[in-house]
Each structure stands twice: as structure tokens, then as C-alpha cells.
Amino acid sequence: MKARAFSYFRAATIDQALDAHARAGDDARFIAGGQSLVPALSLRLQAPRLLIDITHIDELRGVRRDGGYLRIGALTRHCEMLSEPLIAEFAPLLHAAAPFVAHPAIRNRGTFGGSVALADPASEFPAMTLALDAEIEIAGPSGSCRVKADDFFLDLFETALQPGELITAVYVPLFKADQRFAFDELARRRGDYALVGCGMLATFTGERVDDIRISFFSVGNTPTRVKGAEATLIGSSLEAERIAAAQAALEGDLAPPDSDEVPPAMRLHLARVLLGRMLGRLGEGA
């Protein structure tokens, strides 16, 4: 349970961090909160030559409005999702998801950017970036760019991030008065990984759904948008039969992996139950 020996470098700027990574011949890892990376190092699942600490880079901090977006700095800690007023007002889905992320002490260290970068398919925040139609800002040796969440999660722990690149911020479209959101998950024990989890964001005209984005986690190799279910709900007023149709559509949207503990049919059933509950709440104005 001890990490292999490595060198440690504390970067003061993004450029310093990127430069250090390049000089280590890509045999380096960035560390911020480290709440997933440190166990991986301790178990020697990873054994880089160099650890680059990015926690003291001011450019990666802060939450602020930027045009039609909320710019959430990569180093924003999970606990700040609960305490930061701008998050509660303009990204309430993240505020709602935060209490479900691990335990309080983990939330005190873990960072939003780190969670998105790791892309654990069972994690809450990566899936919420999909529901929110967020954009992920990436800095790399060849410059900076923004990638839509829809294009970011590629496969199990695999993202659009290339070696040596760094998430600098996540841009979330500002929550609007005609929008509603819901978040929930089913877990055996509070703080455990969810058996199934889901977040959704819908835009309404009166009681009619004009647009809805629904993202599941813990049901596949990546966070997963359920476009079939979304399509059945557009134009509806979340009537019972339309909700039932959305639940039925999950069969085509989700392909839960086989596991001894939770058979795919059970996970799909739980996803339907969860979706039904959440759409019911959304219809009531949640």
C-alpha cells in the first residue's frame, strides 16, 4: 500500500505544469485533490516518475459568470459545489449532485476538474456535465480548446484528454427560469457508488417539455445520455404514458455491463424506476 518512488514538482502556472509533463517524457501525472489518484498510486496501479502538483495554480481556481456560462475552475472542490452561491443559482444540478459524491472528507479535497478528467463511469459529476451540455476547457502543449461534454467521454476512463493535457475549467450554460432539473441515485449505502444514478435538465414552455437532457451513470463504460428516452419526452407534458414510453426507451439507450452482483436486467429495471420517479418530480416542478 505504498506508492513507488516518484519525484514531486509543485507548479505555479499552467505553462509550468505542461512543461514539466513534457520534460518527463509523458511519464508524469498531474495531481490536484488526489482522492482517486493517491489510492491508485498506493496500489501501484499507476507508477509515474513525476507527480506534478497543480493545486497552487491560481488560474485553475474560481467560479464566475462568463457570458452565457458559469465558468467553474478545475480546482473547485466538491464541497464548494455545496457552499458556492453562484453554483446554487446557475448550476443547481451540480449543487444537487454534490451531497452524493463520496463522503464529506473526500469532498473537502476532491476537485471538479479531477473528477471530470478521471471520467469514472460511476461518478456523479462527469455524468452531470453531459446533462448540462457543459464544455470542458483543456490546456495542452499546442494551446487551449473547449470540448463539448458530448464529445469528451470516449470509453472506460478514456476521454478526449491527451497525455500531457490538463482540464482548466468547465463551462456550464447558465440555468434559466424556464428550466427544471432533477438528480437522484440508488445506492446500497449513502456515499457508496450508485447502482444507478441519473441527472436531468429540461426546458419548458408552460408544462410542455421543449428540450430535455438525461444522463445516467453507473450503467456502462461511460456516462450515458439516453437520447431515445429524451426524444419521447420532447413536446410532452410528462403525462404518465409519455413517462412510460421514456422508461421503455431505456432498453435501447442503455447496455448495462454484465456483473455477478448486479445483472444487466436488474440495472435496467432500476434505471427505469429511477427515471419514472425523477420525471414525476420534474412534472411537479422539481
Partner 1 sequence: MSGFDQTLLDDADETVRVQLTVNGRRVACEVAPRETLVDCLRNELELTGTHAGCEMGACGACLVQLDGRAVHSCLMFAVQADGATINTIEGLSETGVIADLQAEFHRRNALQCGFCTPGMLVNAHELLSQVAQPSREEIRDALSGNYCRCTGYEAIVDAIEAVAQARDQGGGTK
User: Binding residues for partner 1, per CB under 8 A?
Assistant: 1-13, 15-16, 19-20, 23-24, 31, 34-35, 38-39, 41-43, 49-51, 53, 55, 79, 99, 102-106, 108-109, 189-191
Residue that the C-alpha cell 412534472 belongs to: 283
Nearer to partner 1, 53 or 133 (CB): 53
Residue that the C-alpha cell 467553474 belongs to: 72
SS3 196: strand
Nearer to partner 1, 20 or 274 (CB): 20
CB of 148 to partner 1, least distance (A): 31
Intra-chain end-to-end CA distance of the chain, in Å: 45
Residue that the C-alpha cell 420534474 belongs to: 282
Nearer to partner 1, 20 or 250 (CB): 20
Nearer to partner 1, 105 or 234 (CB): 105
Nearer to partner 1, 166 or 212 (CB): 166
Question: Phi and psi at residue 217, in whole multiples of 5°?
Answer: -135, 165
CB of 248 to partner 1, least distance (A): 34
Kindly give, in sequence order, each residue whose CB lies less than 8 Å from that of residue 226, ignoring residues fewer than 6 positions away: 214, 215, 216, 249, 250, 253, 254, 275
How far apart CA 196 and CA 224 sit, in angstroms, is 11
C-alpha cell read off for 111: 476537485
CB of 88 to partner 1, least distance (A): 16
CB of 23 to partner 1, least distance (A): 6
How far apart CA 100 and CA 77 sit, in angstroms, is 14
* Residue of 92, 112, 89 lying closest to 101 (CA atoms): 112
Query: Exposed/middle/buried for 143, CB within 10 Å: 0-12, 13-18, 19+?
Result: exposed
CB of 110 to partner 1, least distance (A): 9
CB of 162 to partner 1, least distance (A): 20
CB of 7 to partner 1, least distance (A): 5
Nearer to partner 1, 52 or 167 (CB): 52
How far apart CA 26 and CA 178 sit, in angstroms, is 46
Centre a 10 Å sphere on the Cβ of residue 219 and count the other Cβ atoms it contains: 29
Nearer to partner 1, 76 or 232 (CB): 76
